Amino acid sequence: MELALLTFSFLALLALGVPVSFSLGLACVATYLYEGLPMATAMQSVVSGINAFSFLAVPFFILSGELMLHGGIADRILRFAQDAVGHFRGGLGMANVVACTLFGGVSGSPTADTSAMGGVVIPLMKREGYSAAYAVNVTTHASLAGALMPTSTNMIIYALAAQGIAGTVAGHEINGVSIGDLLFSGLIPVLWVMGFVMAAAYWQAVRYGFPRKADGTTALAKFPGWPTVARSLVSALPGLFVILIILGCVANGVATATEAAAIAVAYSLVLTIVVYRSMTRERLFKALARAVKTTGVVLLLIGVSNMLRFQMAYLEIPEAIEALLKNATTVPWLMLLYINIIQVFLGTFVDMAAHILITTPLFLPLAMQYDVGPVQFGIMLLLNCSLGLVHPPIGSVQFIGCAIGEVSIGETTKHAWPYYLAIFSAINIVTYFPAFSTWLPSLISGHPVF
């Protein structure tokens, strides 16, 4: 009865349009009251959920991304990508993919990536003869790279959600996940995501003859020459250097992920105010306000999700799900396929941060029984969650792109299947070939990473 009350109250509140954080919190409170548990326990769960030094990395990463977003970094990255690959068939689409991937490494957020790059490049692509649906799909799916980059706040949330989850993987005792290892684990998968999305963008451009002018003719841009490419790269490099700062600090043991995030904020301020001089007072206040708002939403969600984790443990939900899946199959590859299918399905209904916090304690212990370590599982989870950002009914990133492109969500979804296939391909590669996510952190740390 407690589980039914928790589930249906949560779904009913979501259906009424109540934000996810409040839906989770109110559903948990209702269940606490039904069980007769003291409300002090619920409040302690919320406070303990956010009372962690490592969570300071979240507001720092958010602020750094907002400063870069409002500091004109996106324009320089787009110029470099357009100079480098804009002269190919569908070149502006492929330049969009490269630019979104690079800016995703700066912002660490698919939403911010779509807002920044989409606001510039989607109208530009429409003017140059690309359909609105094509422009939106390319932008939104390429923006998913932000979830796998070292500046990703969702990566930090996953690392903290996995704390205390222990098990044995390939004969090694594992307890939680190292944030440092996780930051490096997404770099190779993100290249695959970029490559697959570029291939889908090129295929659609060839099939539909993009760019296509009103009279049906096409005109490809001319290659500007390597000196021009080099100049635009030099202009974009200082903004991209924030990725190297974070990775360098963590890899050399100079700073923790939290301290590296604070350094990234200081660097972003110096770069946008002193070097580029593109940060006005109004833009700075807007960046600070958006960072405060986003941080408040994320931390509230983390707190109420910790209350939900207590409820799930109290009701033995992880054990029930594990027994259900084990009754379905004991074949490792099939079990991982089931986990991915469930994750993709849940990702279409639950916001990414909430998805990570809720499902990590459910599926990570089970995955570790099949020799899938927390680092590999983290990248699998982030990719599965990302797909929900571009698919209705949640599809927050896709809705932002459609609003910018002035096109319906139905029209974009109709032409999105090559991009869904690209993301699914990346998910399967990470799932069944662990080295794609674990080789680089193992090389950097000097010990096996799982």
Indicate whether 216 pLDDT > 70.
no
Bridge partners (DSSP) listed for residue 172: 169
What are the φ/ψ torsions at residue 137 (nearest 5 degrees)? -65, -45
Question: Residue 305 falls within a domain, yes or no?
Answer: no
Q: Is residue 345 part of a domain?
A: yes
If we measure between CA atoms, which residue out of 361, 434, 417 comes closest to residue 157?
A: 361
Rg (CA), the chain: 22
Report the C-alpha gap between 365 and 361 in whole angstroms: 7
Q: Can you spell out the DSSP letters for 162-177?
A: TTT-EEEETTEEEES-
Question: How many separate domains does the chain show?
Answer: 1
pLDDT at residue 69 greater than cutoff 60: yes
Q: C-alpha distances in angstroms, 111 versus 99, 278, 419? A: 14, 22, 17
Q: Which residues of 134-161 are buried (b: 16+ CB within 10 A; e: fewer)?
A: bbbbbbbbbbbbbbbbbbbbbbbbbbbb
Check residue 254 and give its pLDDT.
Answer: 67
Residues pairing with 175 in the sheet: 166
Q: Is residue 37 part of a domain?
A: no
Does residue 36 fall inside a structural domain?
no
- For residue 450, which amino acid is it? F
d(CA 351, CA 20): 7
Amino acid making up residue 197: V
* 4 domain residue, yes or no: no
Q: How far apart are CA 342 and CA 338, in angstroms?
A: 6
Nearest to 162 by CA among 359, 354, 428: 359
Chain segment 377-428, per-residue pLDDT in tens: 999 999 998 888 888 766 778 888 888 888 888 889 888 999 999 999 999 9
Residue 48 forms part of a structural domain: no
d(CA 270, CA 283): 14
CB–CB of 137/415 below 8 Å?
Answer: yes
Domain that holds residue 79: 53-300+317-445
User: What is the pTM for the complete model shown?
Assistant: 0.86
In a domain, 21, yes or no: no
How much is the average pLDDT of 258-264?
A: 85
CB neighbours of residue 87 within 10 Å: 15
Asked whether residue 38 is assigned to any structural domain, the reply reads no
The CA distance from 84 to 221, in Å, is 11
Each residue of 305-362: pLDDT tens digit?
788 777 877 777 777 877 888 888 888 999 999 999 989 888 877 778 888 988 898 8
The CA-based angle 320-321-325, given to 5 degrees, is 120
C-beta separation of 105 from 145 below 8 A? yes
Task: Give me 420's structure tokens.
Answer: 């869904």
